[in-house]
């Protein structure tokens, strides 16, 4: 059974930084693209960033481009999201989502339980 588990959420001040981690199990990790998807309170999901299975290509939504960096360590089956210059509007539950393939097109067939990130002074 595929499982993904996020960690690293918490409270950050505006302009601050946080790093999220996501450990995967039950799969050949490098064979699948991975993404971060966030959901602000009372809102629908918003895709944030994605990375191909081999880590060679990354993609980010305009709302986080230049501030957030997605990367992975396939030897540790771990996905990361480095979040810098945080803003209040980044407050959300951040989900780690497994893609159905190594590169696009893919849908999200496994999700973690989510990590809450709160940006507030």
d(CA 12, CA 84): 10
d(CA 54, CA 9): 25
Judged by CB under 8 A, the stretch of 13-21, 22-30, 79-87, 110-118 that binds another protein is 110-118
Q: Does 68 bind another protein (CB under 8 A)?
A: no
Angle CA(22)–CA(66)–CA(6) in degrees, nearest 5?
A: 10
Q: Which of 17, 85, 100, 120 forms a contact with another protein (CB under 8 A)? A: 100
Q: Which of 45, 58, 103, 118 forms a contact with another protein (CB under 8 A)? A: 45
CB of 55 to another protein, least distance (A): 18
109-to-3, 42, 97, 99, 103 alpha-carbon distances in Å: 11, 23, 7, 6, 14
Q: Does 111 bind another protein (CB under 8 A)?
A: yes
CB of 16 to another protein, least distance (A): 26
- Count of residues that bind another protein according to CB under 8 A: 20
Residues 6+ apart with CB under 8 A from 19: 8, 80, 81, 82, 83
Residues binding another protein (CB under 8 A)? 35, 37, 44-47, 50, 95, 100, 104-114
């Amino acid at each position: 059974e595929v499982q993904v588990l996020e960690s690293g959420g918490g409270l950050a001040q505006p302009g601050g930084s946080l790093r999220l981690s996501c450990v995967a199990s039950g799969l050949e990790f490098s064979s699948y693209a991975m993404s971060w998807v966030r959901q602000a309170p009372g809102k629908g999901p918003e895709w944030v960033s994605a990375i191909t299975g081999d880590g060679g290509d990354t993609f980010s939504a305009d709302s986080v481009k230049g501030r957030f960096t997605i990367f992975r360590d396939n030897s540790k089956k771990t996905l990361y999201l480095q979040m810098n210059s945080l803003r209040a509007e980044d407050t959300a539950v951040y989900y780690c989502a497994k893609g159905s393939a190594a590169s696009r097109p893919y849908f999200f067939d496994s999700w973690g339980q989510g990590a809450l990130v709160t940006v507030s002074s």
